[in-house]
Every structure is written in C-alpha cells, then in structure tokens.
Amino acid sequence: MKARQVLVPFAAVVVFLVLWEALVWVMGWPNYKMASPSDLIPAYEKYWNLFLIMGWQTLWRTIVGLLLAVVFGIALGMVMGFSRTMRDALYPLLVGFNAVPKATVVPIVALMFVGWHDFNTVLIAFMISFFPIAVSVSIGLSTLEPEYRDILRSLGASQSMIFWKIALPKTLPEFFGALKVSVTLAFIGTNLMEIVSPHGRGLGALFDSGKTNSDYPLMFAVLIALAFLGIVLYYIVVALEKIFAGWADRTV
C-alpha cells in the first residue's frame, strides 16, 4: 500500500477533527448542545469497557447481515441478470420495497420477533443492504455482450460456466462498488434496530442510554465509534477489491 493511501485519509480525519473543535470553540457551544472532540476523550475513558462490548455486538451483527445480503443479492442479481422476464417482474417490487423508509419497518420487525434480539437486528441489516448488490450484479450480467454467450454456448458451456468464467469477473467492479455502499447501509440498519428495540445491546443502545441521561459527549462518542467501525469495514472491502478486482483499477 502506498504511503499516500494512508497519509491522505489520516490527514483528512485530523483536519475534520480540528475544524470541528474550532467550530465549537468559536460558536461557544456548551457540550450539551454540541460536544467537541476534546469532550469525547473523557467519555471513552469512562465507558471504554462498554464501547468494547457493545461495539463488538454491533459489528458482528452488521457483518452477518451484510454477508447474508451478499449471498441473497448475488443470487437475486443472477436471476434478474440472466432473465429479462424476471428482471421486469422483480425490479418494481425491489424499488417499491427499497422506497419504504426502513425506520418504519423496524418497529414492525421488532414486534414480530419479540425477544429475538440478534435475529431481528441481523434481519434489518440484511434488508437494508442487499438492494445495491442485487442491482449491481443484475446490471453487470444483463449488459454482458451477447457474442460471448453465443460463442460459449456453441462450445457447450452451461449457464453456470458462463457465469463463473465470463459474467462474474465482469461484474466484480460493480459488485464491490455496491458492497461499499451496502457496508454503510448495514450499519444504519443495525443501529436503527438497536435504538428502537430496547434490548440493551450494541452501540445503538449505548447511544440511547446517553440520550436518556442527557450525556451528550457519550452520544457523540458513540457516533464517532460507529464511524470508525464503518471506516474499518469499508477498507476491508477495499482490500478485498484489490485482491479480486484490482485489474479494474485504472488510477495512478
């Protein structure tokens, strides 16, 4: 990895924190209105064990939901990509489903699966993150040049062989682009359920606790912790992209 790829993002984060601290200082905001980065350090020191425990709870459920979204999204994208009929039939349903605000779905899922805390959290993370993956795979497969298919079929290749040898490599750049979006969506789904469903688990529950107790530095500390986990998972996806689809990178 080039030094620039590490130093530039790190410098951007430092600049953001400095500007944030300066804005709070210039505006004279108290920490119950807008906490500054320096206000977050005591919160991390005081609740470090809760951040570790609940951060792990949020992370593993987000990852499980994201993995399910990858499997389901690829399968659904294959169905729509290889069949024009299925694509015309499923696209309106998917668009309609994705247009429904997931904040309105969370209470319904929480009531349907009362007591199934891990399951309903993973379910919401899955529901909110599979759509970009399915669409990207579908578009990648549907735009596959028909000449490739005709040649491979004339040579006796099956549909699955066409997918693994030609279609899948072609769709990898689009897939990883969608996966980067799905990472953030999965975290949103996880934390929506953790806040709405009062089961006391995950960073969403810690955020809700800070809100209940008017501990605003804790609330902002949770937001930064969520951002950190999202960045870590994002760069894991970037590393996987370089391994499996590095050939598509034309940047210098």
Instruction: Report which of 4, 12, 3, 22 is spatially closest to residue 231, judged by C-alpha positions.
Output: 12
CA-to-CA dists, residue 65 to 56, 60, 184, 192, 237, angstroms? 14, 9, 12, 13, 15
More confident residue, 136 or 198: 136
87, burial (CB in 10 Å: exposed 0-12, middle 13-18, buried 19+) = middle
Q: Is residue 96, in this structure, part of any structural domain at all?
A: yes
pLDDT of 244 strictly over 70: yes
Domain that holds residue 122: 60-199+227-246
CATH number of the domain where residue 183 is located: 1.10.3720.10
> Considering the chain, what is the average pLDDT of its residues?
84
pLDDT score at 252: 47
Q: Is residue 12, in this structure, part of any structural domain at all?
A: no
pLDDT score at 63: 94
Q: Is residue 171, in this structure, part of any structural domain at all?
A: yes
DSSP state of 248: G
Dihedral through CA 243, CA 133, CA 169, CA 154, nearest 10?
A: 160
> Average of pLDDT values for 116-121?
86
Q: Lowest-confidence range among 9-18, 99-108, 176-185, 240-249? A: 240-249
pLDDT score at 198: 65
Instruction: Report which of 54, 47, 49 is spatially closest to residue 213, judged by C-alpha positions.
Output: 47
Q: Is residue 70, in this structure, part of any structural domain at all?
A: yes
Domain count, the chain: 1
pLDDT of 172 strictly over 80: yes
Q: Distance between CA atoms of 180 and 128, rounded to whole angstroms? A: 13
> Average of pLDDT values for 5-21?
86
pLDDT of 164 strictly over 80: no
pLDDT score at 68: 95
Q: Is residue 182, in this structure, part of any structural domain at all?
A: yes
Q: Is residue 29, in this structure, part of any structural domain at all?
A: no
Q: Distance between CA atoms of 113 and 191, rounded to whole angstroms? A: 17
pLDDT in tens, 130-150: 989 988 888 877 776 666 667
Q: Is 190 helix (H, G, I), strand (E, B) or coil?
A: helix
Q: Is residue 97, in this structure, part of any structural domain at all?
A: yes
pLDDT score at 159: 67
Q: Is residue 195, in this structure, part of any structural domain at all?
A: yes
